[in-house]
Protein backbone atom coordinates (compact mmCIF):
# COMPACT_ATOMS: atom_id res chain seq x y z
CA UNK A 1 0.00 0.00 0.00
CA UNK A 2 1.43 3.36 -1.05
CA UNK A 3 -1.53 5.69 -0.53
CA UNK A 4 -2.05 7.61 2.69
CA UNK A 5 -4.22 6.28 5.47
CA UNK A 6 -7.04 8.82 5.78
CA UNK A 7 -8.19 8.97 9.37
CA UNK A 8 -11.18 10.56 11.06
CA UNK A 9 -11.47 11.26 14.77
CA UNK A 10 -14.73 10.30 16.52
CA UNK A 11 -14.84 12.61 19.51
CA UNK A 12 -12.78 15.42 21.00
CA UNK A 13 -11.30 13.83 24.11
CA UNK A 14 -8.27 15.23 25.91
CA UNK A 15 -6.15 12.20 25.01
CA UNK A 16 -6.82 12.88 21.33
CA UNK A 17 -5.70 16.50 21.69
CA UNK A 18 -2.60 15.88 23.79
CA UNK A 19 -1.30 12.56 22.53
CA UNK A 20 -2.90 10.88 19.55
CA UNK A 21 -3.48 13.66 17.03
CA UNK A 22 0.14 14.88 17.27
CA UNK A 23 1.27 11.27 16.82
CA UNK A 24 -0.98 10.78 13.79
CA UNK A 25 0.37 13.95 12.26
CA UNK A 26 3.95 12.84 12.88
CA UNK A 27 3.43 9.65 10.84
CA UNK A 28 4.14 10.19 7.15
CA UNK A 29 1.61 7.54 6.12
CA UNK A 30 -1.35 9.19 7.90
CA UNK A 31 -3.54 12.10 6.83
CA UNK A 32 -5.97 13.46 9.41
CA UNK A 33 -9.06 14.31 7.38
CA UNK A 34 -11.73 15.32 9.87
CA UNK A 35 -12.77 15.37 13.49
CA UNK A 36 -16.38 14.93 14.59
CA UNK A 37 -18.06 16.08 17.76
CA UNK A 38 -21.59 16.52 19.05
CA UNK A 39 -21.06 20.26 18.95
CA UNK A 40 -19.57 22.43 16.23
CA UNK A 41 -17.57 24.56 18.65
CA UNK A 42 -15.56 21.66 20.03
CA UNK A 43 -14.92 20.17 16.59
CA UNK A 44 -13.88 23.57 15.22
CA UNK A 45 -11.28 23.99 17.97
CA UNK A 46 -9.67 20.64 17.11
CA UNK A 47 -9.87 21.27 13.37
CA UNK A 48 -8.16 24.65 13.69
CA UNK A 49 -5.33 23.17 15.75
CA UNK A 50 -4.69 20.13 13.57
CA UNK A 51 -5.54 21.42 10.11
CA UNK A 52 -8.48 19.17 9.33
CA UNK A 53 -12.21 19.50 8.74
CA UNK A 54 -14.74 19.91 11.56
CA UNK A 55 -17.92 17.83 11.46
CA UNK A 56 -20.96 17.79 13.72
CA UNK A 57 -22.26 14.28 14.38
CA UNK A 58 -20.32 11.02 14.36
CA UNK A 59 -22.41 9.48 11.57
CA UNK A 60 -21.44 12.31 9.24
CA UNK A 61 -17.81 11.28 9.62
CA UNK A 62 -18.47 7.58 9.02
CA UNK A 63 -20.42 8.42 5.85
CA UNK A 64 -17.33 10.00 4.28
CA UNK A 65 -15.79 8.02 1.42
CA UNK A 66 -12.47 9.81 1.86
CA UNK A 67 -12.01 8.35 5.35
CA UNK A 68 -10.90 4.72 5.62
CA UNK A 69 -9.83 4.63 9.27
CA UNK A 70 -11.21 6.03 12.53
CA UNK A 71 -9.84 6.67 15.98
CA UNK A 72 -12.39 6.38 18.79
CA UNK A 73 -11.58 8.29 22.02
CA UNK A 74 -15.23 8.48 23.14
CA UNK A 75 -16.35 7.63 26.71
CA UNK A 76 -16.15 3.89 27.34
CA UNK A 77 -19.90 3.25 27.32
CA UNK A 78 -20.14 4.58 23.76
CA UNK A 79 -17.34 2.45 22.32
CA UNK A 80 -19.30 -0.66 21.36
CA UNK A 81 -21.95 1.29 19.45
CA UNK A 82 -19.57 3.44 17.45
CA UNK A 83 -16.93 0.78 16.82
CA UNK A 84 -19.72 -1.36 15.40
CA UNK A 85 -20.92 1.49 13.19
CA UNK A 86 -17.35 2.13 12.01
CA UNK A 87 -16.71 -1.53 11.16
CA UNK A 88 -20.06 -1.74 9.37
CA UNK A 89 -18.98 1.30 7.35
CA UNK A 90 -15.80 -0.51 6.29
CA UNK A 91 -13.39 1.52 8.44
CA UNK A 92 -10.36 0.27 10.34
CA UNK A 93 -10.59 1.20 14.03
CA UNK A 94 -8.17 2.23 16.75
CA UNK A 95 -10.23 2.48 19.95
CA UNK A 96 -9.20 3.84 23.29
CA UNK A 97 -9.23 1.26 26.04
CA UNK A 98 -11.36 -0.43 27.09
CA UNK A 99 -12.52 -1.55 23.65
CA UNK A 100 -15.96 -2.04 25.21
CA UNK A 101 -17.41 -2.41 28.69
CA UNK A 102 -18.25 -6.14 28.37
CA UNK A 103 -16.67 -9.33 27.07
CA UNK A 104 -19.79 -10.08 25.04
CA UNK A 105 -19.50 -6.84 23.06
CA UNK A 106 -15.74 -7.16 22.64
CA UNK A 107 -16.01 -10.69 21.25
CA UNK A 108 -18.78 -9.62 18.86
CA UNK A 109 -16.72 -6.72 17.52
CA UNK A 110 -13.55 -8.80 17.19
CA UNK A 111 -15.50 -11.28 15.06
CA UNK A 112 -17.05 -8.47 13.00
CA UNK A 113 -13.63 -6.96 12.27
CA UNK A 114 -12.27 -10.33 11.21
CA UNK A 115 -15.28 -11.03 8.99
CA UNK A 116 -14.91 -7.63 7.31
CA UNK A 117 -11.13 -7.92 6.89
CA UNK A 118 -10.54 -4.84 9.03
CA UNK A 119 -8.02 -3.87 11.69
CA UNK A 120 -9.45 -3.40 15.18
CA UNK A 121 -6.90 -2.37 17.81
CA UNK A 122 -7.41 -1.50 21.47
CA UNK A 123 -5.19 1.44 22.42
CA UNK A 124 -2.97 0.27 25.26
CA UNK A 125 -0.02 2.41 24.28
CA UNK A 126 2.40 0.90 26.80
CA UNK A 127 2.35 -2.38 24.83
CA UNK A 128 4.37 -0.66 22.11
CA UNK A 129 7.18 0.60 24.34
CA UNK A 130 10.30 -1.54 24.02
CA UNK A 131 10.93 -1.62 27.79
CA UNK A 132 8.44 -4.42 28.25
CA UNK A 133 9.91 -6.53 25.47
CA UNK A 134 13.29 -6.03 27.14
CA UNK A 135 11.83 -7.21 30.46
CA UNK A 136 10.45 -10.30 28.72
CA UNK A 137 13.91 -10.95 27.32
CA UNK A 138 15.52 -10.67 30.75
CA UNK A 139 12.96 -13.07 32.19
CA UNK A 140 13.52 -15.55 29.36
CA UNK A 141 17.27 -15.37 30.02
CA UNK A 142 16.72 -16.20 33.69
CA UNK A 143 17.94 -12.83 34.96
CA UNK A 144 15.92 -13.23 38.20
CA UNK A 145 15.41 -16.99 38.18
CA UNK A 146 12.02 -18.61 37.88
CA UNK A 147 9.10 -16.16 37.86
CA UNK A 148 7.08 -16.35 41.07
CA UNK A 149 4.74 -13.35 40.98
CA UNK A 150 3.92 -10.00 39.41
CA UNK A 151 2.86 -6.93 41.38
CA UNK A 152 1.49 -3.90 39.54
CA UNK A 153 -0.18 -0.66 40.64
CA UNK A 154 -1.83 2.17 38.73
CA UNK A 155 -3.39 4.83 40.94
CA UNK A 156 -4.09 8.50 40.25
CA UNK A 157 -5.22 11.48 42.38
CA UNK A 158 -8.89 12.30 42.94
CA UNK A 159 -10.74 13.44 39.83
CA UNK A 160 -12.39 16.88 39.68
CA UNK A 161 -16.19 17.19 39.59
CA UNK A 162 -17.57 16.46 36.14
CA UNK A 163 -14.73 14.15 35.10
CA UNK A 164 -16.15 11.40 32.84
CA UNK A 165 -14.31 8.77 34.87
CA UNK A 166 -16.79 9.50 37.66
CA UNK A 167 -19.84 9.14 35.40
CA UNK A 168 -21.44 5.71 35.76
CA UNK A 169 -23.64 6.26 32.71
CA UNK A 170 -20.52 6.77 30.56
CA UNK A 171 -18.70 3.67 31.76
CA UNK A 172 -16.60 5.37 34.41
CA UNK A 173 -14.80 3.82 37.35
CA UNK A 174 -11.29 2.77 38.30
CA UNK A 175 -11.47 -0.80 37.00
CA UNK A 176 -12.28 0.18 33.42
CA UNK A 177 -10.03 3.22 33.45
CA UNK A 178 -6.65 2.66 35.07
CA UNK A 179 -7.32 -0.82 36.45
CA UNK A 180 -7.34 -2.16 32.91
CA UNK A 181 -3.62 -1.42 32.57
CA UNK A 182 -2.29 -3.81 35.24
CA UNK A 183 -4.69 -6.48 33.95
CA UNK A 184 -3.34 -6.12 30.43
CA UNK A 185 0.22 -6.10 31.76
CA UNK A 186 -0.43 -9.37 33.60
CA UNK A 187 -1.45 -10.95 30.30
CA UNK A 188 1.65 -9.58 28.59
CA UNK A 189 4.06 -10.89 31.20
CA UNK A 190 2.34 -14.08 32.38
CA UNK A 191 0.43 -15.14 29.28
CA UNK A 192 -3.25 -15.86 28.58
CA UNK A 193 -3.58 -18.68 31.15
CA UNK A 194 -4.85 -16.41 33.92
CA UNK A 195 -7.83 -16.81 36.22
CA UNK A 196 -9.24 -14.49 38.89
CA UNK A 197 -8.77 -15.76 42.44
CA UNK A 198 -10.43 -12.78 44.08
CA UNK A 199 -11.11 -9.06 43.76
CA UNK A 200 -12.41 -6.04 45.62
CA UNK A 201 -13.97 -2.79 44.40
CA UNK A 202 -14.71 0.26 46.55
CA UNK A 203 -17.66 2.32 45.27
CA UNK A 204 -18.06 6.03 45.85
CA UNK A 205 -21.79 6.50 46.65
CA UNK A 206 -21.69 10.08 45.37
CA UNK A 207 -20.97 8.94 41.84
CA UNK A 208 -21.92 5.27 41.78
CA UNK A 209 -18.57 4.18 40.34
CA UNK A 210 -15.67 2.23 41.79
CA UNK A 211 -12.80 4.48 42.84
CA UNK A 212 -10.45 1.82 44.22
CA UNK A 213 -9.87 -1.87 43.80
CA UNK A 214 -7.52 -4.81 43.67
CA UNK A 215 -7.42 -8.20 42.04
CA UNK A 216 -5.45 -11.41 42.50
CA UNK A 217 -4.93 -13.42 39.33
CA UNK A 218 -3.19 -16.77 39.08
CA UNK A 219 -1.79 -19.10 36.48
CA UNK A 220 -2.26 -22.88 36.50
CA UNK A 221 1.35 -23.35 37.67
CA UNK A 222 0.73 -21.17 40.74
CA UNK A 223 2.37 -17.96 39.51
CA UNK A 224 0.25 -15.01 40.65
CA UNK A 225 -0.39 -11.36 39.80
CA UNK A 226 -1.43 -8.91 42.51
CA UNK A 227 -2.94 -5.78 40.94
CA UNK A 228 -4.08 -2.50 42.54
CA UNK A 229 -5.80 0.51 40.99
CA UNK A 230 -7.72 3.61 41.98
CA UNK A 231 -8.94 7.13 41.18
CA UNK A 232 -8.43 8.72 44.61
CA UNK A 233 -4.80 8.00 45.47
CA UNK A 234 -1.19 9.09 45.31
CA UNK A 235 0.03 8.80 41.71
CA UNK A 236 1.77 5.48 41.11
CA UNK A 237 2.16 3.31 38.02
CA UNK A 238 4.72 0.56 38.14
CA UNK A 239 5.31 -3.16 38.18
CA UNK A 240 7.66 -5.64 39.78
CA UNK A 241 8.33 -9.17 38.57
CA UNK A 242 9.52 -11.29 41.49
CA UNK A 243 11.69 -14.28 40.69
CA UNK A 244 13.40 -17.02 42.65
CA UNK A 245 16.70 -15.10 42.65
CA UNK A 246 15.81 -11.46 42.08
CA UNK A 247 13.32 -8.82 41.02
CA UNK A 248 12.78 -6.66 37.94
CA UNK A 249 11.13 -3.26 38.48
CA UNK A 250 9.72 -0.75 36.01
CA UNK A 251 8.58 2.70 37.15
CA UNK A 252 6.16 4.87 35.17
CA UNK A 253 5.24 1.64 33.45
CA UNK A 254 2.14 2.89 31.67
CA UNK A 255 2.96 6.57 31.18
CA UNK A 256 6.71 6.74 30.53
CA UNK A 257 8.38 9.99 29.53
CA UNK A 258 9.36 10.29 25.88
CA UNK A 259 12.98 10.53 26.97
CA UNK A 260 15.33 7.84 28.23
CA UNK A 261 14.01 5.22 30.65
CA UNK A 262 15.43 2.32 32.63
CA UNK A 263 14.73 -1.12 34.04
CA UNK A 264 15.97 -1.95 37.55
CA UNK A 265 17.20 -5.48 38.24
CA UNK A 266 17.80 -6.40 41.89
CA UNK A 267 19.69 -9.57 42.79
CA UNK A 268 21.57 -10.83 45.81
CA UNK A 269 24.78 -9.33 44.47
CA UNK A 270 23.31 -5.86 44.12
CA UNK A 271 21.17 -3.65 41.93
CA UNK A 272 21.79 -2.93 38.26
CA UNK A 273 20.07 -0.40 36.03
CA UNK A 274 19.43 -1.16 32.38
CA UNK A 275 19.18 2.13 30.43
CA UNK A 276 16.99 2.40 27.35
CA UNK A 277 17.08 5.09 24.65
CA UNK A 278 14.45 7.79 24.21
CA UNK A 279 11.18 6.46 22.83
CA UNK A 280 7.66 7.84 22.44
CA UNK A 281 5.14 5.08 22.99
CA UNK A 282 2.38 7.15 21.39
CA UNK A 283 4.33 7.43 18.15
CA UNK A 284 5.15 3.71 18.31
CA UNK A 285 1.46 2.86 18.81
CA UNK A 286 0.47 4.77 15.69
CA UNK A 287 3.30 3.09 13.79
CA UNK A 288 2.05 -0.36 14.83
CA UNK A 289 -1.53 0.49 13.84
CA UNK A 290 -0.43 1.88 10.49
CA UNK A 291 1.76 -1.17 9.83
CA UNK A 292 -1.17 -3.50 10.49
CA UNK A 293 -3.30 -1.64 7.94
CA UNK A 294 -0.58 -1.28 5.31
CA UNK A 295 0.54 -4.91 5.46
CA UNK A 296 -2.94 -6.40 5.84
CA UNK A 297 -1.77 -8.20 8.98
CA UNK A 298 -4.61 -7.78 11.43
CA UNK A 299 -3.63 -7.72 15.13
CA UNK A 300 -4.52 -10.80 17.15
CA UNK A 301 -7.70 -9.83 18.98
CA UNK A 302 -7.53 -12.83 21.34
CA UNK A 303 -5.73 -10.80 24.03
CA UNK A 304 -8.31 -8.01 23.68
CA UNK A 305 -11.16 -10.48 24.17
CA UNK A 306 -9.41 -12.20 27.09
CA UNK A 307 -8.82 -8.77 28.64
CA UNK A 308 -12.55 -8.05 28.56
CA UNK A 309 -13.28 -11.47 30.05
CA UNK A 310 -10.86 -10.87 32.92
CA UNK A 311 -12.42 -7.47 33.62
CA UNK A 312 -15.86 -9.10 33.75
CA UNK A 313 -14.52 -11.79 36.09
CA UNK A 314 -12.92 -9.20 38.39
CA UNK A 315 -16.19 -7.30 38.55
CA UNK A 316 -18.14 -10.50 39.33
CA UNK A 317 -15.63 -11.60 42.00
CA UNK A 318 -15.89 -8.20 43.66
CA UNK A 319 -19.70 -8.42 43.59
CA UNK A 320 -19.64 -11.81 45.28
CA UNK A 321 -17.20 -10.53 47.91
CA UNK A 322 -19.67 -7.78 48.84
CA UNK A 323 -22.68 -10.12 48.96
Convert the pLDDT of each residue in 65-122 to its tens digit. 999 999 999 999 999 999 999 999 999 999 999 999 999 999 999 999 999 999 999 9
| pLDDT mean by block of 10 residues, the chain; 323 residues | 86 95 97 94 94 97 97 97 98 98 98 96 97 98 98 96 93 97 98 97 94 98 98 97 98 95 95 96 97 89 97 97 85
Active-site residue among 45, 91, 97, 104?
97
Q: Do the beta carbons of residue 166 and residue 159 sit within 8 Å? A: yes
* Predicted TM-score (pTM) of this structure: 0.96
- Residue 154 sits at φ, ψ, to 5 deg, of -140, 105
User: Which pLDDT does position 300 carry in this prediction?
Assistant: 81
Which residues on neighbouring strands pair with residue 230, listed in sequence order? 155, 212
User: Which pLDDT does position 1 carry in this prediction?
Assistant: 46
SS3 (DSSP) at 282: helix
**DSSP state letters, 75-97:** -HHHHHHHHHHHHHTT-EEEEES
User: Which pLDDT does position 2 carry in this prediction?
Assistant: 55
The answer to whether 104 is a known catalytic residue is: no
Q: Mind listing the domains of the chain with CATH numbers?
A: 5-123 (3.40.50.720), 126-279 (3.30.360.10)
Which residues on neighbouring strands pair with residue 262, listed in sequence order? 275
User: Which pLDDT does position 297 carry in this prediction?
Assistant: 85
User: Which pLDDT does position 161 carry in this prediction?
Assistant: 87
User: Which pLDDT does position 252 carry in this prediction?
Assistant: 97
% of residues, the chain, pLDDT over 70: 99
Residue 48 has a CB neighbour count (10 Å cut-off) of 10
Amino acid sequence: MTTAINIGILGCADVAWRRMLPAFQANRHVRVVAVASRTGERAAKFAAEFGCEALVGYSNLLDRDDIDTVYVPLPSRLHAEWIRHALDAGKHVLAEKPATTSAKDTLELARLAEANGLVLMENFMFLHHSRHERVQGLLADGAVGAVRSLHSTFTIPARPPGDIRLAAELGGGALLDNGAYPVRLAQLMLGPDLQVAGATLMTDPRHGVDVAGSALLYRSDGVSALLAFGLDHHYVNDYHVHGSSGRISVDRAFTPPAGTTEIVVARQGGVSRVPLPAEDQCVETVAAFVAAIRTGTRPDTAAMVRQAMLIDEIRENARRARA
